[in-house]
């Protein structure tokens, strides 16, 4: 038996910090993951996709997201999708899952009851739907005593943590040895957004479309092959996601250092599929800092899907040349020198003075060289 294990689609995720254009693309990519999963299922002769919770980002995803999700699954008519309520979209009376249960296409199963679901004659699925965002009890506890036909593969589907991953360590906790206790051939888990192996028969797939920085092994789904109840599962990572989230620290000694750093950023990845968070630091002349800001904000930022830029660590040390470019001897030169002296003193006022000096430099260039600054 072969199937695809995925989780944490979180369709409708708002990406509130992203600019509007990037936000729309990131949201669309999450819907696109459904199509990619269907293609993977077909390519690997694994016509069953188990979604281990958090299908939607909330219990009220909005009509477009809801309809798009069902439409895309319906179009993959030769693939069966099993959807499990998670902590982002828990099962509530007369809510999302009641509607979904009534409107699901023939190839979509809403696993909204803690009871066995036959997967043909050879396997039985044991789902653990969440009825609340936070639960103090282990939703997989019923697996141990669940009755299934003799010789049938017992597959668990659940959403929660087997260890304290986040800020709520006492909620939605699952027994780490549940697969052994319940005699499961495989336990498909969701909640952790990175791919993670707990033991031979217990795995987190992670989200199929990356959605944040600092997470390892995201953008995957798992191809699972079970030869029999006692045989160990064969688990293979499948690349699904479109976007790559990259965080880096760049320390500059001169504006020219950007050449090599930007060339090495996300090698082999299409720039439009990169979300980057760059922390830029260094001690630069005023002219170099302005050049760096211009190249990143007006250049690289437009090549990437989204550039989250932090220039807070970039310190300026204006040179005589910088000040002379503002004004060689006149009133502007005197103002620039006063701002420079204030900036050198540090503190909140120093930071304001440094920003004012940089703005003075930029505005002077704009006035002297229209279209360049």
Structure-block tokens of residue 268: 């082999």
- Last-in-domain residue among 206, 239, 272: 239
User: For position 326, what pLDDT does the model report?
Assistant: 63
Spatial neighbors of 251 by CB under 8 A, at least 6 apart, are: 280, 281, 282
83-96, pLDDT tens digit by residue?
A: 999 999 999 887 99
Q: Pairing between strand 48-51 and 220-225?
A: unpaired
Q: Which residues pair with 279 in a beta bridge?
A: 249, 310
Looking at the structure, tell me whether residues 172 and 317 fall in a common domain.
no
**Contact between 343 and 354 (Cβ < 8 Å):** yes
304-330, pLDDT tens digit by residue?
A: 999 999 998 988 877 767 666 665 556
* Dihedrals phi, psi of 45, to nearest 5 degrees: 50, 50
* Dihedrals phi, psi of 309, to nearest 5 degrees: -105, 130
Spatial neighbors of 204 by CB under 8 A, at least 6 apart, are: 7, 189, 190, 191, 192, 194, 195, 196, 197, 198
Structure-block tokens of residue 140: 């997989």
Looking at the structure, tell me whether residues 169 and 262 fall in a common domain.
no
Within-domain flag for 373: no
Band (243; pLDDT cuts 50, 70, 90)? very high
Band (335; pLDDT cuts 50, 70, 90)? confident
User: For position 113, what pLDDT does the model report?
Assistant: 96
Within-domain flag for 257: yes
Looking at the structure, tell me whether residues 210 and 138 fall in a common domain.
yes
Full residue range of the structural domain in which residue 265 is found? 244-368
Q: Which residues pair with 355 in a beta bridge?
A: none
Q: Which residues pair with 310 in a beta bridge?
A: 279
**Contact between 179 and 154 (Cβ < 8 Å):** no
User: For position 322, what pLDDT does the model report?
Assistant: 65
Looking at the structure, tell me whether residues 179 and 126 fall in a common domain.
yes
Over residues 207-230, mean pLDDT: 93
Looking at the structure, tell me whether residues 266 and 223 fall in a common domain.
no
CA atoms of 259 and 160, how far apart (whole Å): 44
10-28, pLDDT tens digit by residue?
A: 999 999 999 999 999 999 9
**Contact between 191 and 86 (Cβ < 8 Å):** yes
Looking at the structure, tell me whether residues 211 and 296 fall in a common domain.
no
Within-domain flag for 71: yes
Over residues 56-61, mean pLDDT: 95
CA atoms of 35 and 30, how far apart (whole Å): 10
User: For position 317, what pLDDT does the model report?
Assistant: 78
**The total number of structural domains that make up the chain:** 2
118-175, pLDDT tens digit by residue?
A: 998 899 999 999 998 887 789 999 999 999 999 999 999 999 998 655 445 556 689 9
Looking at the structure, tell me whether residues 289 and 230 fall in a common domain.
no
Within-domain flag for 231: yes
What CATH number should be reported for the domain holding residue 69? 3.60.21.10
CA atoms of 288 and 322, how far apart (whole Å): 9
Looking at the structure, tell me whether residues 115 and 208 fall in a common domain.
yes
Looking at the structure, tell me whether residues 77 and 34 fall in a common domain.
yes
Looking at the structure, tell me whether residues 233 and 283 fall in a common domain.
no
Exposure string for 132-148, b = 16+ CB within 10 A, e = fewer: eeebeebbbeebeebeb
Within-domain flag for 86: yes
To the nearest whole percent, how much of the chain has pLDDT over 90? Answer: 72
Looking at the structure, tell me whether residues 228 and 265 fall in a common domain.
no
346-364, pLDDT tens digit by residue?
A: 788 777 877 776 676 665 6
In degrees, to the nearest 5, what angle opens at C-alpha 167 toward C-alphas 164 and 171?
Answer: 60
280-308, pLDDT tens digit by residue?
A: 999 888 889 889 999 999 999 999 999 99
Within-domain flag for 353: yes
- Last-in-domain residue among 194, 214, 239: 239
Q: Pairing between strand 196-199 and 202-204?
A: antiparallel
Within-domain flag for 218: yes
Band (373; pLDDT cuts 50, 70, 90)? very low
User: For position 333, what pLDDT does the model report?
Assistant: 63
Within-domain flag for 209: yes
Looking at the structure, tell me whether residues 136 and 276 fall in a common domain.
no
Alpha carbon of 174 to those of 163, 215, 287, 316: distances in Å? Answer: 8, 22, 57, 52
- What is the side-by-side order of every strand in the sheet holding 123-128? 117-119, 123-128, 153-159, 186-190, 202-204, 196-199
- Last-in-domain residue among 208, 239, 270: 239
């Amino acid at each position: 038996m072969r199937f695809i294990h995925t989780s944490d689609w979180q369709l409708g995720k708002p990406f509130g910090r992203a600019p509007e254009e990037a936000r729309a693309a990131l949201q669309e990519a999450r819907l696109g993951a459904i199509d990619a999963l269907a293609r993977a299922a077909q390519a690997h002769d694994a016509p069953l996709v188990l979604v281990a919770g958090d299908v939607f980002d909330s219990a009220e995803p909005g009509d477009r997201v809801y309809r798009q999700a069902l439409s895309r699954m319906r179009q993959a008519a030769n693939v069966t999708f099993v959807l499990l309520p998670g902590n982002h979209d828990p099962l509530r009376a007369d809510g999302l899952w009641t509607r979904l249960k009534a409107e699901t296409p023939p190839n979509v199963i809403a696993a909204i009851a803690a009871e066995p679901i036959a997967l043909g004659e050879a396997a039985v699925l044991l789902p653990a739907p969440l009825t609340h965002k936070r639960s103090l009890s282990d939703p997989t506890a019923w697996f141990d005593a669940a009755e299934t036909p003799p010789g049938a593969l017992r597959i668990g589907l659940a959403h929660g943590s087997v260890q304290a991953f986040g800020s709520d360590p006492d909620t939605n906790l699952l027994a780490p040895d549940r697969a052994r206790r319940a005699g499961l051939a495989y336990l498909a888990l969701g909640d952790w957004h990175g791919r993670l192996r707990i033991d031979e028969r217990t795995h987190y797939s992670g989200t199929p479309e990356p959605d944040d920085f600092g997470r390892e092994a995201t953008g995957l789904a798992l191809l699972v092959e079970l030869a029999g109840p006692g045989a160990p599962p064969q688990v293979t990572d499948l690349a699904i996601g479109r976007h790559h989230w990259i965080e880096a620290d760049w320390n500059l000694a001169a504006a020219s250092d950007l050449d090599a750093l930007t060339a090495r950023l996300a090698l082999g990845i299409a720039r439009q599929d990169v979300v980057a968070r760059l922390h830029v630091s260094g001690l630069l002349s005023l002219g170099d800092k302005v050049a760096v800001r211009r190249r990143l904000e007006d250049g690289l930022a437009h090549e990437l899907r989204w550039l989250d830029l932090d220039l807070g660590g970039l310190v300026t040390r204006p040179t005589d040349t910088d000040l002379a470019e503002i004004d060689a001897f006149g009133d502007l030169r005197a103002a620039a020198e006063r701002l420079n002296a204030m900036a050198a003193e540090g503190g909140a006022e120093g930071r304001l003075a440094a920003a004012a000096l940089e703005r003075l430099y930029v505005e002077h260039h704009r006035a002297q060289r229209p279209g360049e600054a």
